[in-house]
């Protein structure tokens, strides 16, 4: 077996393991243990406020492109 064939065989084995674990996960899924998506709250797991990103603000007249601040 050439090194290329061994590499392809190793890749095929890893893909087969990944597909197999995915199928196992789906086959053993218990919907009664999971919370429905519609009942999830809309808070983000990342604590970034809109104010810190500058969303919803009108642009400053002094900070326009082409004009020094």
Q: Tens of pLDDT along 12-58?
A: 999 999 999 999 999 998 888 877 776 666 666 666 665 555 555 66
Residues in the chain: 69
> How is the chain split into domains, by residue range?
1-29
Per-residue model confidence (pLDDT) at position 35: 75
Helix, strand, coil share of the chain (percent; to 5): 50, 0, 50
Tokens of residue 36, six digits? 């429905």
Q: Tens of pLDDT along 58-68?
A: 666 665 566 55
What is the value of pTM for the model shown? Answer: 0.49
Q: How far apart (Å, rounded) are the C-alpha atoms in residues 66 and 69? A: 9
Per-residue model confidence (pLDDT) at position 18: 98
Per-residue model confidence (pLDDT) at position 34: 77
Q: How far apart (Å, rounded) are the C-alpha atoms in residues 17 and 25? A: 12
């Amino acid at each position: 077996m050439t090194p290329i064939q061994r590499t392809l065989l190793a890749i095929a084995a890893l893909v087969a393991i990944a597909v197999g674990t995915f199928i196992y996960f789906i086959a053993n899924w218990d919907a009664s243990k999971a919370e429905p998506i519609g009942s999830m709250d809309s808070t983000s797991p990342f604590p970034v406020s809109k104010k810190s990103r500058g969303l919803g603000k009108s642009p400053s007249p002094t900070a326009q492109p082409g004009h020094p601040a």
